[in-house]
Amino acid sequence: MLKGKTIILGVSGGIAAYKSAALASLLVKAHAAVQVVMTENAGRFIAPLTFEAITGRRCLQDTFDRNHEYSTEHVALAKRADAVIIAPATANVIAKLAHGLADDMLTTTVLACGCPKIIAPAMNTRMYENPATQDNIKRLESYGMEVVEPAIGRLACGDTGAGKMPEPDVLFQYVLRACAFEKDLTGKKILVTAGPTQEMIDPVRYVTNHSTGKMGYSAAKICALRGADVTLVTGKTALDPPLFVRVVPVTTAQEMFDAVTAVSDEMDIIIKAAAVADYRPASVSGEKIKKSGERTVIEMERTKDILEYLGEHRRKGQFICGFSMETEHMLENSRRKLEKKHVDMIAANNLRMEGAGFGTDTNVVTLITEKGALELEKLSKEEAAGRILDEILKNMRESAERESAERESADEKGGMKR
């Protein structure tokens, strides 16, 4: 995701500096060019050689090091940078940045950068909550820097409270949001549904399906990284919710229907990836049903069809993408679903195909619209989500252009009649 991007990783003098090596590794694995810039005190907690071994680049510490290719390396580096993240950011470094002080390689470089800047405070709770530190953080935010809220837990000093640097994988997501994708969804409100629903039989048992939520969660994540305002309505899964999205947890099909329809009118795009139960027990026992006889029958009733409701109640300009999991006649069944539900696109896959289906990290999707079918190769679910979004935006642009042309044609005909 970060191929061709230059990321400056600033490391200041705190015990959390050891975590920064793992962050550097994640950035390198994402194919970023990572340049570590350390303060002098950071070198007391972790050796520059550690970062040099991970990144393959010399760690910068001294502003006036004559061995640099450029005599003003901080300026040259600032011009190349696509994003800066300072992790950990001590109270001292935060104070310097808040007041424009530049007395070492890290602060001079950051001061010269015009790219997105991410600050990850890490310090004692009382230092973090000190009004002076809080004022400095607010000042950084007013300058357009993103300050990551520290985690709460046991600190190196033995205290417990806010001040822990978030884990490297969390900070990595902030870097991705800053520069990994074009922000072509900025200003768009997107609703994504994900995961299974559970329909109660009695207090012990329920009816569900094999959905893990991976496809929907991937779609929500990529939407957010591309700048959208995302709401994720999700059934119960074992996944951690993606960052930067509003999460609405539900359990049953009715709860998902209520949550979706409560906000659907606000949405520009709806991606309905959840596996919603088509049927539920007609009655739910208040007590555990005991075994009796060799067989038992559970009477079922239909649940409300969320996708059909959305198609019938859509507002003008709204794009709706449904999903279709099939075991046979995938194209025919999915095209019927597209027409019956009055939606714009169906992302279809076949459970029998290798690399597709529930619980996998990959998917093989065919995108079906009224114009035809586009078969995608086997992709990771995040890559598949990106391709689905590309096609959604393409279809929305074409629809807008078509409507504009029709209006112009109507205006011309009206002028001729007059």
Q: Which residues are catalytic?
A: 157
378 CA to centre of own chain: 21
Cβ atoms within 10 Å, residue 251: 17
- Of 253, 153, 242, give the one whose Cα is nearest residue 200: 253
Beta bridge partners of 180: none
Alpha carbon dihedral 26, 28, 31, 32, in 10-degree steps, equals: 100
- Torsion-angle region of 7 (φ positive above 0: left; ψ -120 to 50: alpha; else: beta): beta
- Phi, psi dihedral angles at 77 (to 5 degrees): -65, -40
Torsion sign, CA atoms 233, 226, 173, 13: negative
Cα→Cα distances 28→7, 9, 103, Å: 10, 11, 28
What contacts 38, CB < 8 A, 6 or more positions away? Answer: 10, 11, 12, 48, 51, 59, 60, 61, 105, 106
Instruction: Give Dmax (Cα) for the chain.
Output: 87
User: Distance (Å, rounded) from C-alpha 401 to C-alpha 191?
Assistant: 24
- Quote the radius of gyration of the chain (alpha carbons, Å): 26
Residue 226's CB is within 10 A of a number of other CB atoms, namely 23
For β-strands 366-369 and 372-375, DSSP reports them as: antiparallel
CA neighbours within 13 Å on the CB side: how many for 264?
25
Matching residue, tokens 């999915």: 334
Contact 89, 122 (CB under 8 A): yes
